[in-house]
A and B are shown apart, each in its own frame.
Chain A
Amino acid sequence: MKIKIFGLVLALLTALVPLQTADAAETLNGAGASFPYPLYSAWAYAYQKATGVRVNYQSIGSGGGQRQIVERTVDFGASDDPVAPAQLKKDTLLQFPAVIGAITPVVNLPGVKDGQLRLDAEALCRIFLGEIKRWDDARLTAMNPGLKLPGKEITVIHRADGSGTTAIFTHYLSETCNAWKTKTGEGKAVQWPAGIGGKGNEGVANYVKRTSHSIGYVEFAYAKQNKLASVSLKNRAGNFVEPSFASFENAAETAGFDANKDFHAWLTNAPGKNAWPIAGATFILLAKEKIDVNKKTIQFFDWAFEQGDDTARKLVYVPLPPALKNKIRAYWKSKGLSP
């Protein structure tokens, strides 16, 4: 009886093998940043309809995207936290940007609508440091004379996982606020002085939605899809700007992407007059030696560069400018990859 069962198992296993190889050829497994997840999953959905190839992108966080591609457990990684060229070399990785997006602080304040609350970098920094504890703090009310801010404690919501969104956000805070730089520093995961942690942009959006008097930070698509109230931020030029396609594009214009540095670049605190201050590109990481897999991956992104701009705009991501796309194509070619 036992032997029969064992035989059955073997038969089943062998029966599955051809299935697997046929299947594996059509699937690309990617993982990483949750920041571009709404866009990548929309691209993948359309790409599968157009070509039959499945791009299974799992939103786990940029830390995960970097870790899993270094471990070679996925076909491509994604990260909003640009990896420095030296590190790429060490891990034999390639890197290129896929799209530009922006991070916006979001609040759940009864009576305060989208874009109404004004903050500058200093105030944002002190809130996330846990130093501004209440919404009716003088430093906030002074900036918002028209708003009635409640006398309630602020609940700070941050990321619990390794996150490129956090990397961009803390890069911005470190750049603009000395106290942040010395006390907390920047990175994909930091030791948060205050608040509660959600998993992924999804988790932060969910917690902000469910917790009144809270403030968190998410990629703009998450704010928009969930109708969370964004804030107006004071940018480097001294103007209060609202998160919008125009203000993101303005931030992206001044970015210097250099193929020789594997496009390593930050877009935070951009100098443009109407530039949104917390913008960032999101990057794709490839394992340099996996040529065949990489070809399939760049076919997907090449398709997305050609066909996916409208989807990106609809979700309020900024498509890469044509010149940059060509730079990236040349970069692929120089690495022995062409779509």
Chain B
Amino acid sequence: MAVPQKKDPLDRLFMIVTATAAISVIVILTGIFVVLLSESSLAISRFGFFRFLASTDWNPVTESFGAATAVFGTIVTTLIALLIAVPTAVGIAVFVTEIAPDFLKGPIGIAIELLAAIPSIIYGMWGLFTLAPLMAQHVEPFLQRTFGDLPIVGALFQGTPMGIDIFSASVILSIMIIPFTASIARDSFNLTPAVVKESAYGIGATKWEVVKSVVLPYSKLGVFGGVVLSLGRALGETMAVAFVLGNNHVITASLFDAASTITVTLANEFTEADSDIYLSSLFYLALVLFLLSFIILAIAKFVLLRAEKRYSR
């Protein structure tokens, strides 16, 4: 790659300007970390790190704060959402790439991408007005009747079905990330070379066998990347869950109880916190969320890069 060595002063200037813009990414990320860290220093010195994470207190009266309830809500809603969304999304991707007749592939593909663009607040509002009543009147009583009396599993379905609970929030979250995950999965599926697929069909493989033994192994990295991105989205999502989670700082076994996530706690309480330690604890929660999503994404990136290297070799 030959670049002229003779440096024009204007070229130097342009390079410096662009370099500054590029480095702004590092500056902003570091800035977020430093600002959150310094804002939460009061809470850090008061509650420590592991004690803060382990404490289920969220008590503004006694000024004792812990992250456990919010972290619990964040992780549980995210996991349930992924549990619903990932299989559905992969199913959609299989449908779009392998099953659907050609004239449907384009439109469905576009529909999925458009749906991925709908802002989360729409999902949240729809959840409150339409989904929550449906949940409260039909879905949750049904689940409770069906599973409520079983040992162990039954504990998940206790309480009054109100539609404003962990279950509704997770379902909305999953509906929100389905199109997003599906569109990435589809793109990865499409990367499978047609020749390989054709030859598999040629030796008499069924569609499912082609998907299972050719497409999925070929695209598993891409799908993994997509799942991680969806995970990141679900972890940091505020509005889709804020309407229907019920905002209660508890750790509960039942999916029909209200709970709280880090994001929802921030949305409700951030401008409200009256004491310094309260505000500092909220910044601390934001820091925990920032680190959580940073670490998960960094690990995923690392895995993907390693794998890519291995593949390209």
Given a CB threshold of 8 Å, the question of whether A touches B is answered with: yes
Chain A residues in the interface with B (C-beta under 8 A): 31, 60-61, 63-64, 66-68, 70, 152-153, 155, 160-163, 184-192, 195-199, 207, 210-211, 213-214
Pick the contact of A210: B133, B160, B273, B279 (CB < 8 A): B133
Q: Whole-angstrom distance between the alpha carbons of A150 and B67 in the complex?
A: 38
Contact of A197 with B246 in the complex, beta carbons under 8 Å? yes
Chain B residues in the interface with A (C-beta under 8 A): 57-62, 128, 132-133, 136, 159-160, 162-165, 242, 246-249, 258, 260, 267-269, 271-274, 279
A190 and B59 contact, Cβ closer than 8 Å, known pairs A161-B268, A197-B268: yes
Residue pairs across A and B with Cβ atoms less than 8 A apart, 22 shown, are A31-B271, A61-B271, A61-B272, A63-B273, A64-B272, A66-B274, A152-B160, A161-B272, A162-B273, A191-B57, A191-B58, A191-B60, A192-B249, A196-B164, A196-B165, A196-B247, A196-B248, A197-B248, A197-B258, A199-B242, A210-B164, A213-B160
Pick the contact of A195: B57, B132, B258, B274 (CB < 8 A): B258
Give A185's nearest chain B residue, CB to CB: B61
A198 and B61 contact, Cβ closer than 8 Å, known pairs A188-B274, A211-B164: no
Q: Whole-angstrom distance between the alpha carbons of A263 and B71 in the complex?
A: 41
Contact of B247 with A199 in the complex, beta carbons under 8 Å? yes
Contact of B248 with A192 in the complex, beta carbons under 8 Å? yes
Contact of B59 with A191 in the complex, beta carbons under 8 Å? yes
Query: Which are the 3 A-B pairs with shortest beta-carbon distances?
Result: A197-B247, A162-B272, A196-B246
Contact of B258 with A196 in the complex, beta carbons under 8 Å? yes
Contacts of A189 in B (CB 8 A): 60-61, 269, 272
Give B59's nearest chain A residue, CB to CB: A191
Contact of A211 with B162 in the complex, beta carbons under 8 Å? yes
Give A133's nearest chain B residue, CB to CB: B160
Contact of A191 with B249 in the complex, beta carbons under 8 Å? yes
Q: Whole-angstrom distance between the alpha carbons of A199 and B239 in the complex?
A: 13
Contact of A196 with B162 in the complex, beta carbons under 8 Å? yes
Would you give the shortest CB distance from B70 to chain A, in whole angstroms?
Answer: 12
Q: Whole-angstrom distance between the alpha carbons of A63 and B247 in the complex?
A: 17
Contact of A160 with B60 in the complex, beta carbons under 8 Å? no
A160 and B269 contact, Cβ closer than 8 Å, known pairs A67-B274, A155-B162, A188-B274: yes
A186 and B274 contact, Cβ closer than 8 Å, known pairs A161-B268, A192-B248, A196-B258: no
Would you give the shortest CB distance from B201 to chain A, in whole angstroms?
Answer: 51
Max chain B CB contacts within 10 Å: which of A67, A163, A198? Answer: A67
Q: Whole-angstrom distance between the alpha carbons of A185 and B269 in the complex?
A: 19
Contacts of A186 in B (CB 8 A): 61
Give A197's nearest chain B residue, CB to CB: B247
Q: Whole-angstrom distance between the alpha carbons of A194 and B245 in the complex?
A: 14
A64 and B247 contact, Cβ closer than 8 Å, known pairs A196-B258, A210-B132, A210-B133: no
Contact of B247 with A162 in the complex, beta carbons under 8 Å? no
Give A186's nearest chain B residue, CB to CB: B61
A187 and B272 contact, Cβ closer than 8 Å, known pairs A197-B246, A197-B247, A213-B160: no
Q: Whole-angstrom distance between the alpha carbons of A199 and B273 in the complex?
A: 14
Give A184's nearest chain B residue, CB to CB: B61
Contact of A162 with B60 in the complex, beta carbons under 8 Å? yes
Contacts of A67 in B (CB 8 A): 271-274, 279
Contact of A161 with B269 in the complex, beta carbons under 8 Å? yes
Q: Whole-angstrom distance between the alpha carbons of A156 and B30 in the complex?
A: 43
Q: Whole-angstrom distance between the alpha carbons of A161 and B282 in the complex?
A: 13
Contact of A63 with B274 in the complex, beta carbons under 8 Å? yes
Give A160's nearest chain B residue, CB to CB: B247
Would you give the shortest CB distance from B127 to chain A, in whole angstroms?
Answer: 12
Max chain A CB contacts within 10 Å: which of B61, B164, B268, B274? Answer: B274
Contacts of A214 in B (CB 8 A): 162
Pick the contact of A60: B59, B62, B163, B271 (CB < 8 A): B271
Max chain B CB contacts within 10 Å: which of A160, A163, A185? Answer: A160
Contacts of A161 in B (CB 8 A): 268-269, 272
Q: Whole-angstrom distance between the alpha carbons of A187 and B58 in the complex?
A: 13
Contact of A153 with B160 in the complex, beta carbons under 8 Å? yes
Contacts of A66 in B (CB 8 A): 274
Contacts of B271 in A (CB 8 A): 31, 60-61, 64, 67-68
